[in-house]
Amino acid sequence: MSNNTEMDVSSLLAEEDPKPVEKEILRLNDEAMKSLHSGQPAAARISLDRANELLSSRSLRSNRLKRGFLLGITMNNQACYYKKYALR
């Protein structure tokens, strides 16, 4: 993992409280967009993959609205990645 504030994905998948999971997904999406803007597509892809993995966490399964919101952000950012790097 790239820095001290990054949480372990496996521990977050079992998390009951949605707040830490939501916070980490948003942080990963932010990190991915910063990586895209600085020309680091591999780092962006890793962050987006981790965010996508966290969307299946236990705490978000019961909260469809929150999961849908976070899924929308992550999918939009994945579309930006594909548009800029994968569809050339």
Q: What is the structure's pLDDT at 4?
A: 39
How much is the pTM?
0.83
Return d(Cα 51, Cα 24) in angstroms, integer. 8
Q: What is the structure's pLDDT at 60?
A: 86
Domains contained in the chain, number: 1
Does 60 map to a domain?
Answer: yes
Q: What parts of the chain have a pLDDT lower than 70?
A: 1-10, 13, 15, 87-88
Does 22 map to a domain?
Answer: yes
Q: What is the structure's pLDDT at 85?
A: 83
Does 4 map to a domain?
Answer: no
Does 5 map to a domain?
Answer: no
Q: What is the structure's pLDDT at 3?
A: 45
Q: Which residue range(s) make up the domain with 35?
A: 16-86
Does 11 map to a domain?
Answer: no
Return d(Cα 10, Cα 88) in angstroms, integer. 34
* Residue 74 in tokens: 């992550």
